[in-house]
Amino acid sequence: MYETFEHTADLGLRIRAGDLSSLFAEAGRALFSVITANLEEVQPVEEMSFAIQGHEAEDLLHDWLAELLFTFHVQRRLLVDFNVSIHSTGLTAVARGELIDPKRHEINLEIKAITWHGLKVVQNPDGWLAEVIVDI
């Protein structure tokens, strides 16, 4: 589950999930849900693999979302389905989506960067919670 929250000129994402791998998958979906107004139109027809090194959950989340944002900006891909595996040295992931099709996809927000401000990943009795602020 994810939601957005207001933060001055930026936008916050609050993500919740039962386990850490699911939290990162949901964070990817949250990011693309604010980039495109009609995420349901994105088809999971192409597959991309990711590998990010790191030990701290906050660092991994930042780098994961930054890599997804880079994929959007440089490769012009919208991603909708995420399978993430967290391990002792980082994460590996497979994401599915497709190239942006201006006839079908409506870009909602232009996200400039994933910020470090207020970034947190915590485990609580109900599972995991992450908050990240994106520069719009």
* Predicted pLDDT of residue 3: 75
What are the residue ranges in the chain where pLDDT is below 70?
5-9
Residues 6 or more apart whose CB falls under 8 angstroms from that of 77 comprise 46, 48, 71, 97, 98, 99, 100
* Predicted pLDDT of residue 94: 98
Give the chain's domains with CATH numbers. Answer: 2-135 (3.55.10.10)
Tokens of 126: 């109900």
Distance CA 112, CA 70 (A): 10
Distance CA 120, CA 117 (A): 9
* Predicted pLDDT of residue 116: 94
Q: pTM of this prediction?
A: 0.92
* Predicted pLDDT of residue 48: 97
* Predicted pLDDT of residue 10: 84
